[in-house]
Structure 1
Amino acid sequence: MGQIKVTQTRGLAGKPESQRLAIKGLGLRRRHHTVVVEDTDAIRGLISKVVHLVEVEEIKE
């Protein structure tokens, strides 16, 4: 499997706890923070929960 780059673009103020936990599960800590994670089904599930708060980019190898 490849890797994907996930950047948090919006803040968490007023968001439900489930979305806050999904952001934390992705390893994001604040706005404009970027992490590189493995492209797995579990990670894709977390991203789908907060797709309106993050920007996703696939890393070409």
Structure 2
Amino acid sequence: MAKLKITLIHSAAHRLPNERRIVKSLGLNRINSTTTKKDTAALRGALFKITHLVKVELVK
């Protein structure tokens, strides 16, 4: 299964509470923090809501 490398590029401060919760649930704490997750439909749905805050790369 493919993996996604997710990097927080904009702060979650002063954003909607739902967006802040998604960022925190992904394990992203600070700007430029990175995490790697399995590519699932649920994860893609969460990322769709915060596309303006993160950079996503495909990792094989």
* Equivalent position SS for 1:43: helix
TM (norm. structure 2) is: 0.93
Could you tell me whether the CA contact under 8 Å between 2:13 and 2:20 is conserved in 1?
Answer: no
5+ long unaligned stretches in structure 1: none
**What amino acid sits opposite 1:31 in the alignment?**
I
Aligned-residue offset at 1:25? 1.6
| Count, aligned residues | 60
TM (norm. structure 1) is: 0.92
Structure 2 distance, partners of 1:40, 1:54, is 17
Identity %: 38
Name the structure 2 match of 1:43: 43
Structure 2 distance, partners of 1:12, 1:24, is 9
Q: What RMSD, in angstroms, separates the aligned Cα atoms of the two structures?
A: 0.8
Name the structure 2 match of 1:14: 14
* Equivalent position SS for 1:13: coil
Aligned-residue offset at 1:27? 1.3
Structure 1 distance, partners of 2:25, 2:42, is 10
